[in-house]
Amino acid sequence: MSTASTFRFAPTPNGALHLGHAYSALMNARFAAAVGGRLLLRIEDLDRTRCKPEFESTIRDDLAWLGLVFVDPPRRQSEHRQDYERALDALRGRGLAYPCFCSRGVVAASASERDPDGAPLYPGTCRSLAKAEVAARLAANEPAAWRLDSRRARAAVRAELTWLEFGEGETETRRVAEPAAWGDVVLRGRDAAASYHLAVVVDDALQGISDVVRGRDLLAATSVHRLLQTLLGLPAPRYRHHRLVLDGNGDKMSKSASSTPLGVLRAQGATADDLRVALGFAAGVPRFAVRLS
C-alpha cells in the first residue's frame, strides 16, 4: 500500500456505537496510520426514518472520545442523492435495472431460497413484465423499487470477477466474486435514494477509497459490490474484512440486539485506553473481556 491510501469509517446514525463499531473504527485508523494514509468519515444516513441528527452527534462524540481525528468533513449520503441517481440511470440505460412492484411481504411469500444474509431471495417476479404494463404502472405512480437484472448484468461482464482480500494481516488473497447468490438485488428502494449496495460503491469511488476495512459480516456482499463497480466502470478497492466483536451469547454485536453502547461504558467508568486494551489495540491488562471471531 502507498502513502496515497485512503480509508473510511462509515457508521449509520440509527443508534449508538458499540464495541463492534469501535473495533472497526480503530482497525481503520490502525491501517491508515501504518501507511501514512487518510481516514475519512462517512455518515450513511439514507434511511431518513431511522437515522437521526442526535445519533450522528453521539457517534461523533464517541469517535472523538476514542481519539479518532477526521480532518475532512464527513460525507453524508443524504446530501448526495444525485450521485446515486446518475449511477442508477447508467444501469437503466443499459437495460440492467428494472422496476419491481412487489412488497416485502409478497417477496417473502414467493421466495423459495435465501440470500447470504438470510433474507428471502427475490424470485424475479417483475423481471418479465411487459413494457406496456411497466410503463402504465409507473405512470400511475405505483410504488416501485429498482432491482439489478443480475443475469443480464453478469453476462455484460465477460471477465472473471475477483477482489484482493487481506483480512487483518498483510497476506494477499484473490477472492472470486459470486454475485449470483444475491439474485436481483435492490438498487433503490421504494422510499430511499439508493440501497446500501449501490450507495457504497458510488461513495467509495467518489471519495477515492483505496482500502475498505469492514466486518466479516459484509464479506459476501463484496461480490455484489465488485459486479456493480465493474458495470459502472469504478475502481476496485483493496478489502480487509475483520473479525467481529461478539456479545455474551456469541452473536455479533448489533444495534438491533441492544448491545451496550459506548456511552454506557463511559458512564460506567471505562476509558478509551480501557477499550483499546480490551480490543487488542494497546498493551495492558484488560478491565473487561471481549470476544472476537
Summarised one tens digit per residue, pLDDT across range 226-238 is: 999 999 999 999 9
In a domain, 38, yes or no: yes
The residue assigned the cell 405512470 is 139
- The answer to the question of residue 196 being in a domain is yes
Q: Which domain holds residue 36?
A: 6-292
Averaged pLDDT, 266-273: 95
Within-domain flag for 47: yes
Asked whether residue 1 is domain-assigned, the answer is: no
Confidence class for position 163, pLDDT limits 50, 70, 90? very high
CB 211 within 8 A of CB 100: no
d(CA 90, CA 96): 9
Find the CATH number of the domain harbouring 221. 3.40.50.620
- The string of pLDDT tens digits covering residues 185-200 is 999 999 889 999 999 9
- For 277, the enclosing helix (H) or strand (E) is helix 272-278
Q: In this structure, is residue 165 part of a structural domain?
A: yes
At a CB cut-off of 8 Å and minimum separation 6, what does 16 contact?
55, 58, 59, 62, 255, 261, 262, 263
Asked whether residue 174 is assigned to any structural domain, the reply reads yes
Task: Give the total number of structural domains in the chain.
Answer: 1
Q: How confident is the model at residue 247 (pLDDT cuts 50, 70, 90)?
A: confident
C-alpha cell at 175: 477472492
* Rounded distance between C-alpha atoms, residue 9 and residue 48, angstroms: 20
Q: What pLDDT, on the 0 to 100 scale, is given for residue 2?
A: 44
Q: Which three cell numbers stand for residue 68?
A: 479518532
- Nearest Cα to 176, choosing from 140, 219, 141? 219
